[in-house]
Structure 1
Amino acid sequence: MNNEIYVIGHVNPDTDSICSAIAYARLKQKITGGEYKAKRAGQINSETKFVLERFGVKTPSYLSDVRTQVRDIEIRRTKGVNQGISLKIAWAYMKENNVVTLPIVDNKNHLEGLITVGDIAKSYMDVYDNRILTKAQTPCINIVETLEGELVVGNEEDVFAEGKVLIAAANPDLMENYIEQGDIVILGNRYESQLCAIEMNASCIVVCDGANVSKTITKLAQNNNCKIIKTPYDTFTATRLINQSIPIRYFMTDQELLYFTNDDFIEDIRGIMAKKRHRDFPILTKDGYYCGMISRRNLLGAKRKQMILVDHNEKSQAVDGLEDAEILEIIDHHRLGSLETMNPVFFRNQPLGCTATIIYQMYLENGIEVEPPIAGLLCSAILSDTLVYRSPTCTEIDRASAEALANIAGIEVEQYAKEMFAAGSNLTSKSPEEIFYQDFKKFIAGDVTFGVGQINSMTQDELEAIKEKLVPYMQKAYHDHGVAMLFFMLTNIMDSSTELLYQGNGARELLLNAFSLGKDTDEVYLSGVVSRKKQIIPALMQTLVQDNN
Structure 2
Amino acid sequence: MPIKEFMTREHLVTFDIDDYVDDIKETMSKIRHRDFPILDENGNYLGMVSRRNLMSMQKKQIILVDHNEKSQAVDNINEAEILEIIDHHRIGSLETISPVYFRNQPLGCTSTIIYQMFGEKNIEIPQHIAGLLLSAILSDTLMFRSPTCTQLDILAAEALAKIAKVDIETHAKNMFKAGSDFKNKTTEEIFYSDFKIFHTDEFDFGVAQISAMSREELDKVAEKLRPFLKEVLGEKRIDMVYVMLTDILEESSKVIFEGHDAGKILADAFEREENENGILLEGIISRKKQLIPTLMNAMAEKV
TM range (shorter): over 0.9
Q: Match of 2:103? A: 348
- Following superposition, the deviation at residue 522 of structure 1 comes to 5.0
Are 1:123 and 2:123 counterparts? no
Which amino acid in the other structure matches residue 425 of structure 1? S
- Following superposition, the deviation at residue 539 of structure 1 comes to 1.2
Q: Match of 1:486? A: 241
Structure-2 change in CA distance of 1:534 and 1:284 (3 Å): farther
- Following superposition, the deviation at residue 251 of structure 1 comes to 5.2
Q: Match of 1:297? A: 52
**Counterpart Cα distance in 2 of 1:352 and 1:287:** 53
Are 1:385 and 2:140 counterparts? yes
- Following superposition, the deviation at residue 343 of structure 1 comes to 0.8
How many pairs are equivalent?
Answer: 300
- Following superposition, the deviation at residue 429 of structure 1 comes to 2.8
**Counterpart Cα distance in 2 of 1:285 and 1:388:** 52
- SS at 2:64's partner residue? strand
Q: Match of 2:85? A: 330
Structure with the larger RCO, 1 or 2 (CA within 8 Å, 6+ apart): 1
- Following superposition, the deviation at residue 306 of structure 1 comes to 0.6
**Counterpart Cα distance in 2 of 1:325 and 1:415:** 41
Which amino acid in the other structure matches residue 255 of structure 1? E
- Following superposition, the deviation at residue 545 of structure 1 comes to 2.5
Match of 1:505 among 253, 260, 270: 260
Kindly, what percent of the aligned residue pairs are identical? 51
Structure 1: any 5+ residue segments left out of the alignment?
1-121, 125-247
Q: Match of 1:268? A: 26
Which amino acid in the other structure matches residue 268 of structure 1? E
Structure 2: any 5+ residue segments left out of the alignment?
none
**Over the residues paired in the alignment, what is the CA RMSD in angstroms?**
2.1
- SS at 1:543's partner residue? helix
> Normalising by structure 1, what TM-score?
0.52
**Counterpart Cα distance in 2 of 1:523 and 1:459:** 17
Match of 1:397 among 135, 148, 152: 152
Q: Match of 1:176? A: none
- Following superposition, the deviation at residue 284 of structure 1 comes to 5.0
- Following superposition, the deviation at residue 255 of structure 1 comes to 1.0
1:258-295 Cα offsets, whole Å, 9 max, x none, are 1345224265245214xx2x331123579977654211
| 8 Å Cα contact 1:514/1:539 also seen in 2 | yes
Structure-2 change in CA distance of 1:508 and 1:271 (3 Å): same
Match of 2:296 among 538, 541, 545: 541
- SS at 2:2's partner residue? helix
Match of 1:466 among 216, 221, 232: 221
1:60-98 Cα offsets, whole Å, 9 max, x none, are xxxxxxxxxxxxxxxxxxxxxxxxxxxxxxxxxxxxxxx
Structure-2 change in CA distance of 1:365 and 1:507 (3 Å): same
Match of 1:368 among 123, 129, 153: 123
> Normalising by structure 2, what TM-score?
0.92
| 8 Å Cα contact 1:450/1:484 also seen in 2 | yes
Q: Match of 1:28? A: none
- Following superposition, the deviation at residue 123 of structure 1 comes to 3.0
Q: Match of 2:177? A: 422
Are 1:525 and 2:283 counterparts? no
